[in-house]
Amino acid sequence: MRGYSPSVHETGTIRKKWTGRLPVALLFPNVYRLGMSNLGMQLVYRLVNEHPAIVCERIFLPEGAAAPRSIESSRPVSDFPVILCALSFEQDYVNLIRLLVKGGIAPLAAARDSAGGIEPGNPLVIAGGVATFINPEPLAPFIDMFVLGEAEPVLGAVLERLLVARDKGFAGREELLVDMAKNVGNCYVPRFYEMISGNDGRLASISVRHNVPFPVRKATLSDCGTAGHSQLLTPDTEFSDLFLIELGRGCSRGCRFCAAGFVYRPPRLWDVEAITAALAEKGDEVQRVGLLGMEMARPHELARLAETLIGSSCSLSFSSLRADALGPELVSLLRASGLKTAAIAPDGGSERLRRVINKGLAEEDVLRAAELLVGAGVTNLKLYFMVGLPTETDEDLEELVDFTFRIRERIGGVGRARGLLAALTVSLNCFVPKAWTPFQYAQFAGVPALKKKIQYLRGRFSGQSNLHLNVDKPDNAFFQAVLARGDRRVGGLLLHLAASEKNWRQLFRLHGVDAEEYTRSRQRDEVFPWDVVDHGVRRDYLWAEYQRALVAKKTAACDTVKCRRCGVCHGK
C-alpha cells in the first residue's frame, strides 16, 4: 500500500519489508512540506535504515483531521513499538503532543510506563534534535529518553540496545532506560532526575536516581568521510528538489545570541573530500544544490567546490552569506551559477549593537557585500535584523533604518547601471534569549516594548520604494521565549494547550503560572533546568561573555588549535 500522496513525487525513499525487523517511526511534528526541508531529519532517516535489522518510516503532522500514517507503508503510529522524534524548534512542542494523541499514543511517559511493556500502541518514545539538547525540560513529561547531541556517534549504540531488548521481549522499560543512561552515554532519561524547587518556587537543585550521569554530555561528531546531505528529494517542500550539503557544523564567530554557535562547539569544517563525497551521492537529474554552513566556509575551498558544481550544470543556493567573506572569486562563481536571491544577516542594526552581540561585521562589510551580490546578478537581496536585543536603544533603531537606506542607495547605483533594480527585503525578528548562550541571563524585551519598536520601524519604512518589510509577531516570540528557558511545569501546560482551543496565555493564567517568570533576567549562580545537559562550555565563560556584551566589547573568534576560553576544546 502506498503512503501519503507526497511520496509519489519523492526520490530516495527507503522501503523495507517488516518481517523480522524492528519497526521504528520517525516523527517530525510538523507538516510534510516543512519536515522534508530538515536535513537533520533526513540524516537520521538514512542512518536508522542503514541497519539491516530495522525498518524506519516517516510520519508527519497530517493536515486537517486525517489520522497520522507513515509515508512508506501508510501504517498508523500505533503499529510502531519505538518512536523517534526529531525536534528543531520549540514551536513544534505542542504539535508533537497532538501528533501522539492523534496516533492513539498516550502522550505522558508516566502513562505509557503504567500501561505495561514496550509494544505497538505503547511505544518507547525517544527524542533528539537541536531544540532538545539546548533545553529538553519542557518536553520531559512526554519523552522516555532524549539522545543529546549529534546522531552519528551515538545512534548506532542506541539501536543495538533496542534490538537486544526486542529479542528479550521488551521485558522492562525501566531496565532498558537505566542501561541506556549508564552505558551508552549521551542519553538523558528524565524520570531519573528530580527537579527540586525552593521556597520561592524556583528550581533549587537536581537529584539523581540509579547513579546515572549528571550532567549528561552531548554527543559530538569529530570527523566524517561524507558530509551530511539530502537522502530524499521532492518538489513538495520549502526547498523544492534542492539537494542540501552540510559544509560543517558549528560556527567560530561566537555571536552571543546564537544557540547553535555554542551547542555545536567545537566548530568543524568538513574537508573538501568529505563534501565531494556527498556531492557524488546526488543523482544526475539534480539541478540545484544548497550549501549549509557558509559562515564557516573558507573562500578558496568554497570557490573550488562551486567550480565543480557549475561544471556539472548545477545552480547554487545558500541559506545566508557572511558579508565579510565575499571575495571576487566567489562572486564571479555566483554570477556563473545564476543566483538571483541572497541573504545577509547583520542582525544588529547599529555598529554598537553588532559589538554587543559579537557579530564582528562592520557597516562597510555589509555595504560592499550587497554591492558585490547585486553586481553579480542578485535581484532579491534579503537583510535579517533583530529587535529587542539587550541594551537596545531608540538610537539603535534609528541607525537600523539609516543603515538600510544606505544599503538601498548603494545597490541602487549598481542596479541602475545594469538596468534592473534589485528588490530589498528587510526581515525583523524578535530577539529570544536561549539557553547555553551568553544571553541566557538576559530578559526578554516583552510584547508591548517589541510592538512599539516594530511600529516605529513600520512607520519609518512605510511608503519607501523598492523595499519590502517582513515582521515577526511579538506574541509568537513571547511563547518561544517561555519554552526556550522553560521547565517541566511548562511541559505540563503544553498537554492542556494541545487539547484546548484557548490562547496559551489564557491557559497559563488559568493554571496560575506566571509566564514572565520564564522570560525574566537570570542571576549568575541560578540553577537552570538545562543544567542536566553538558556541552562542555563553562558557565563562568557564558557569564563573562554576557558582561562583555553589556559594555559592547567584542570577543575574538574561536581558534580550536590554541583557544582555551570556553572549555570545549582543551578541557575545563
Residue 458, CA atoms < 13 Å, CB-side half-sphere? 9
Of 276, 407, 288, 267, residue with least CA distance to 340:
288
**Which secondary-structure segment (H or E) carries 405?**
helix 394-418
Q: Measured between alpha carbons, how far is residue 109 from residues 90, 128, 142, 179, 451 in Å? A: 19, 16, 5, 18, 39
Each residue's pLDDT tens digit, 485-514: 999 999 989 999 999 878 999 999 999 999
433-444: average pLDDT: 99
Each residue's pLDDT tens digit, 527-562: 999 999 999 999 999 999 999 999 999 999 988 788
Residue 369, CA atoms < 13 Å, CB-side half-sphere? 21
Cα 486 to Cα 202: distance, rounded to the nearest angstrom = 11
309-334: average pLDDT: 77
Q: DSSP for 298-364? A: -HHHHHHHHHHHHHTT-EEEES-B-GGG--HHHHHHHHHHT--EEEEEEESSSHHHHHHTT----HH
Classified as helix, coil or strand, 197 is strand
How sure is the predictor about 4, in pLDDT bands with cuts at 50, 70 and 90? Answer: very low
Cα 373 to Cα 364: distance, rounded to the nearest angstrom = 14
Predicted local distance difference test score (pLDDT) of residue 3: 40
Cα 447 to Cα 192: distance, rounded to the nearest angstrom = 37
Domain 243-485+536-550 has CATH 3.80.30.20: yes
> Does residue 84 or residue 568 have the better pLDDT?
84
- Phi and psi (nearest 5°) for 390? -55, 135
Residue 3, CA atoms < 13 Å, CB-side half-sphere? 24
Share of the chain above pLDDT 90, in %: 74
| Contact by Cβ (8 Å): 349, 312 | no
Cα 405 to Cα 133: distance, rounded to the nearest angstrom = 39
How sure is the predictor about 1, in pLDDT bands with cuts at 50, 70 and 90? Answer: very low
> Does residue 70 or residue 235 have the better pLDDT?
70
With cell 526581515, the residue in question is 427
Each residue's pLDDT tens digit, 119-137: 999 999 999 999 999 999 9
Residue length of the chain: 572
Each residue's pLDDT tens digit, 137-185: 999 999 999 999 999 999 999 999 999 999 988 878 999 999 999 999 8
Classified as helix, coil or strand, 141 is coil
408-420: average pLDDT: 87
Beta bridge partners of 182: none
| Contact by Cβ (8 Å): 21, 54 | yes
| Contact by Cβ (8 Å): 506, 463 | no
H helix runs in 426-515, sequence order: 447-461, 474-484, 488-498, 504-510
Predicted local distance difference test score (pLDDT) of residue 507: 94
Range picked from 279-288, 290-299, 344-353 for highest mean pLDDT: 344-353
Each residue's pLDDT tens digit, 305-319: 777 777 777 777 777
Q: Where in the chain is the domain with CATH 3.80.30.20?
A: 243-485+536-550
